[in-house]
Chain A
Amino acid sequence: MESQTSKIISGIFISNILAVIIVGIAKFLTPQAGYSDVIIFSVFFIVPFLMGIFNGWQWHDMKMRAVKVIGWCIVSTLLSVVLSAIFLGEGTICLFIVSPVILAMMVAGTFIGREVYRRKNNTLKSSLLGVLALFFVADVVSEHESLEMVSDTLIINAPVEKVWPFVVEYEPITLKENYWLFQAGMPSPVQSTVDGHEAGAGRKCIFSNGYVFDEKMVVYKPNEELTFDIISQPRDPEIMGHIDITRGQFILKDNGDGTTTLIGNSWYKLYVFPSWYFNLWSESITRNVHLRVMDHIKILSEENV
């Protein structure tokens, strides 16, 4: 029993070290874009699946029950998360987001690997590994970019001329954080300042941990539209390390009854794949950044009516 446990633990270490090497090579070979590190689909799907196949190969002749298989896969996933934080510099929240994917792929790979190696079918083994390797190489050399947009709307009980000044710049937000990721330590927007009131002037969006997004206002139409391009943004090991926020926009619409419809839009490039999964998170985060700022603008505008 003791030798079986030590075999499992050593196997988990070997598969994790191999995974770190493969991910390092993939990161090195993947064409980078913008300011961010590109992390491809294969890193989250193929690599943990291969780790699972490796586990399956190691464990196929052990009479391990499913509970134990999944338990050891959880241990291996936790080790992967720790190694990713140490060697790849990934942030805690980013790793929290990807860990369910890593675990699911590893469990799938382990159960498949166990059956494949029990059947001693060499053709099946080599074709499975060959297809995965081919897919991995194709993924590494492909171009990766995903342009996304998030839009939010809020009704403010104040006329546009009262809302506009707070859209351009606003004093620090004192509202309590009500989004769980902000409560968990993800930076949230605090204040916006400008160095002029015209197109071409600079704008800064300051976040709770002191991060500053430098912006340039490209459309400045009082009481109608403010559009700004992000010219530099902080490099953060959390999610911002894999997103380039490219443009922000506020559109104001006079509803004709003393109220204003405020629309907040953001455009960003996502460099972490598969984008359908990670965009669920980045959309939620961007939406909560919008709403925190827009709720603050609403309070300030309505106080001044």
Chain B
Amino acid sequence: MFNLIIRYFGFLKHVPLVPHLYDALLKIQVFFTNRALLNYMDDVTEQVSEWQNITISTHKYGGTQFNLNDVELGHLHGNGLLDVLLNREVKTDLMRNHNILDHHTFKNSGWISFRIKRSDDRNIAIEILERAYMFRQKR
């Protein structure tokens, strides 16, 4: 459903507030269908926000954005879909070890997508963001 909406209505992300409204709808859906997922997302956000020089903001296309020194590391959509920008080396390594996919829109780029579903997925999400954090800090 999410991919279909992004494919056919993705152009609406440029209309102010529409992506934020869509993200709110995703969160409301999760609230009624899988409340624990909202807690997993909060756990990831809280832990990452404690890292040095990390700030949290609202992503321009909806969701929670993680920034290192005001540069985006990745963002977490309201349905638990985490998008992170990595380099190819880190991306290949992570994709070998975890159930990580190419970004849902930007295929064959440095972006990856990982869907948080279960409690264990929190640690994988944090590991992905940590790899992005380390990689960005080195640059």
A contact residues vs B (CB 8 Å cutoff): 45, 49, 65-67, 70-71, 103-105, 107-108, 111-112, 115-116, 118-119, 131
Contacts and interface: CB of A to CB of B under 8 A. Distances in A.
B58 A70 contact: no
Question: What 6 pairs across the A-B complex have the smallest Cβ distances?
Answer: A108-B24, A107-B24, A66-B38, A70-B31, A108-B20, A115-B58
B38 A112 contact: no
Nearest to A103: B28
A70 B57 contact: no
Q: Which bracket fits the contact residues of B?
A: 20 to 34
Nearest to A106: B24
Contacts of A105: 21, 24
8 contacts: A66-B27, A66-B42, A67-B31, A70-B27, A70-B31, A104-B25, A107-B27, A111-B27
A104 B55 contact: no
A65 B31 CA distance: 12
Nearest to A115: B58
A111 B56 contact: no
B95 interface: no
B23 interface: yes
Contact of A104 (B16, B28, B38): B28
A49 B17 contact: yes
A265 to B, nearest CB: 31
Given A65-B42, A70-B28, A70-B31, A112 B20 contact: yes
Given A66-B27, A70-B38, 12 more contacts: A49-B17, A104-B21, A104-B24, A107-B24, A107-B27, A108-B20, A108-B23, A108-B24, A111-B27, A115-B58, A118-B56, A119-B57
Given A65-B38, A67-B38, A119 B24 contact: no
A67 B23 CA distance: 14
Contacts of A112: 20, 58
Contacts of B39: 65-67
A107 B23 CA distance: 9
B1 to A, nearest CB: 16
Contacts of A111: 20, 23-24, 27, 58
Nearest to A63: B46
